[in-house]
């Protein structure tokens, strides 16, 4: 019984022709051009600002009922993130298996490949297919902004900026075959699958601990893993003669450094001052801006 289930899953996650023969190009991949990316980000910002100003203009203070839409969105994002995680993990294992003979000549270990793609790596094959699906999932993630506007009448520059940067970053991973993206996708989708599952649980009205900053703890874990891996990429870049897509990696590193700064600042405010409970809520809001893990 288990074998009959595993084989179809393996085919759809690893061996489907669309996965094996994937290639990032304007002719084959939807949304793979710079004009499309710029238009998408501009449309997202314009729509969010327009909706927010419209509600302000009509002075509507009551939340607009969204029904089961946020719950469905949370469940869909959780399942999609889990699928991307499984597909990326299987694809990485297949890539290691298929190219092990080459790595022995260059004395490259699997962990070094996870952190540092060889120079000349092209965005094609199984791993980059799931990177592409992760990029597309960022568009679905943007819907959270509109849920917040309709429910709480809240819209911040940081939210718009952060979500736009996340979309741009995932685009750069593919455009420049950036190193470290496999681990970044694995870490992010693992966290997203848990966080969005938690949100689905809350939306369905199931009991949960309101004082437990679940998303904040997930954020801490994600930032810590990213920091360690970025140090590894930097070391390998200088020790092994260069990593592919290092320019995009530098941009991503600057973003992570800014997020880490926000976290440390908020962490100090909470654990050193401990003024009141509202401070903790503010920290949760600030931290969740970081990687898009926000209610």
DSSP state of 206: -
Cα separation of 172 and 206, whole Å?
A: 39
Give Cβ neighbours of residue 243 (< 8 Å, ≥ 6 apart): 115, 116, 117, 119, 179, 180, 233, 236, 237, 249
- 288 HSE (CA, 13 A, CB side): 19
> Which of 44, 37, 65, 36 shows the shortest CA–CA distance to 292?
44
pLDDT value for 3: 55
Model pLDDT, residue 66: 87
**Cα–Cα distance between 60 and 193 in angstroms, integer?**
34
Which regions in the chain score pLDDT beneath 50? Answer: 1, 211, 275-295
> How far apart, in whole angstroms, are the C-alpha atoms of residue 182 and residue 186?
6
For residue 94, what are its two tokens? Answer: 């297949």
Identify the pLDDT of residue 140: 94
Of 291, 15, 7, nearest in space to 162 by CA: 291
* Beta partners for residue 209, in sequence order: none
**Do 150 and 63 touch, CB atoms closer than 8 A?**
yes
Q: What is the pLDDT of residue 285?
A: 45
**pLDDT score recorded for residue 214:** 65
């Amino acid at each position: 019984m288990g074998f009959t289930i595993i084989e179809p899953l393996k085919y759809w996650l690893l061996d489907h022709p669309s996965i094996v023969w994937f290639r990032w190009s304007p002719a084959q991949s939807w949304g793979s051009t710079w004009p499309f990316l710029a238009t998408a980000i501009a449309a997202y910002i314009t729509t969010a600002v327009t909706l927010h100003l419209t509600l302000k203009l009509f002075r509507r203070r009551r939340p607009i009922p969204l029904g089961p839409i946020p719950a469905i969105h949370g469940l869909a994002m959780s399942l999609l993130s889990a699928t991307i995680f499984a597909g990326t993990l299987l694809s990485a294992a297949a890539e290691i298996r298929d190219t092990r003979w080459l790595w022995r000549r260059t004395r490259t270990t699997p962990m070094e490949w996870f952190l540092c793609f060889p120079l000349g790596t092209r965005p094609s094959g199984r791993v980059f297919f799931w990177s592409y699906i992760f990029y597309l999932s960022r568009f679905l993630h943007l819907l959270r902004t509109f849920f917040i506007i309709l429910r709480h009448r809240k819209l911040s520059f940081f939210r718009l900026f952060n979500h736009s940067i996340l979309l741009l970053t995932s685009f750069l991973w593919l455009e420049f075959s950036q190193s470290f993206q496999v681990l970044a996708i694995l870490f992010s989708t693992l966290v997203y699958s848990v966080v969005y599952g938690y949100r689905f649980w809350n939306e369905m009205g199931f009991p949960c601990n309101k004082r437990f900053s679940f998303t904040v703890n997930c954020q801490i874990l994600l930032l810590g893993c990213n920091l360690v891996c970025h140090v590894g990429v930097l070391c390998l870049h200088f020790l092994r003669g260069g990593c592919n897509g290092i320019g995009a990696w530098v941009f991503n590193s600057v973003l992570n450094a800014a997020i880490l700064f926000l976290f440390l600042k908020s962490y100090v405010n909470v654990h050193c001052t401990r003024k009141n409970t509202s401070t903790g809520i503010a920290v949760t809001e600030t931290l969740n801006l970081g990687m898009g893990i926000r209610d």
